[in-house]
Structure 1
Amino acid sequence: MTTVRAKFKVQSVTESEGGLKTANLSPVTSGSSENDKFFKWTPGGQIQLGTINPDAAAQFVPGRQFYVDFTPADEAQKAD
């Protein structure tokens, strides 16, 4: 199974009417030797996640970093 791992940092979190919180994440670019490696070898881009789940939303704090793993769904389903 092929997995691509990236590392992203929460840039901002906004809250809309109705309690929807939206986290905006960007790839790490510096700050540690690990981040330098991720910046050099993994995909770039943006991630925007929205949730009304307070426990999930609490995880997304500006400045916090996350590993993001991309596994093809068709390969993951074969393992089931």
Structure 2
Amino acid sequence: MSVRAKFRCHFIQKAEDDSHRTIHMSPVTADTSENKMWSHYTPGGLLQMHISNPAAYGQFEQGKEYYIDIQPAE
């Protein structure tokens, strides 16, 4: 079983020593039928990731939406 969610990056926080970024995201729940359908069963949440790899945290942009796929690890 897997779950696909759509999250929006609301804020990218830079560490004081510039060693990492904290990505703050929350679910997208309105505006389109796709968003309303999935969020009907998962209407809230919060995701924060502390990323120290510049190539990885550079992939995130404030205000942009991202799919997150969740499935069991083998």
TM-score by length of 2: 0.84
Equivalent residue of 2:30, what SS? coil
2:6/2:65 contact within 8 Å kept: yes
After the TM superposition, which parts of structure 1 deviate over 2 Å for at least 4 consecutive aligned residues?
41-44
Which residue does 1:39 correspond to in 2?
A: 39
1:5/1:42 contact within 8 Å kept: no
Verify: 1:15 aligned to 2:10, yes or no.
no
Larger radius of gyration: 1
More helix by share: 1
Q: For residues 10 and 50 of structure 2, what CA distance do their matches in structure 1 show?
A: 14
Extract unaligned runs of 5+ from structure 2. Answer: none
Q: For residues 22 and 64 of structure 1, what CA distance do their matches in structure 2 show?
A: 15
Q: What is the aligned-residue RMSD (CA, Å)?
A: 1.5
Rate the CA distance shift 1:43–1:72 in 2: closer, same or farther, 3 A: farther
* Count of aligned pairs: 73
Which residue does 2:60 correspond to in 1?
A: 60
Extract unaligned runs of 5+ from structure 1. Answer: none
Which residue does 2:51 correspond to in 1?
A: 51
Report the identity percentage.
38
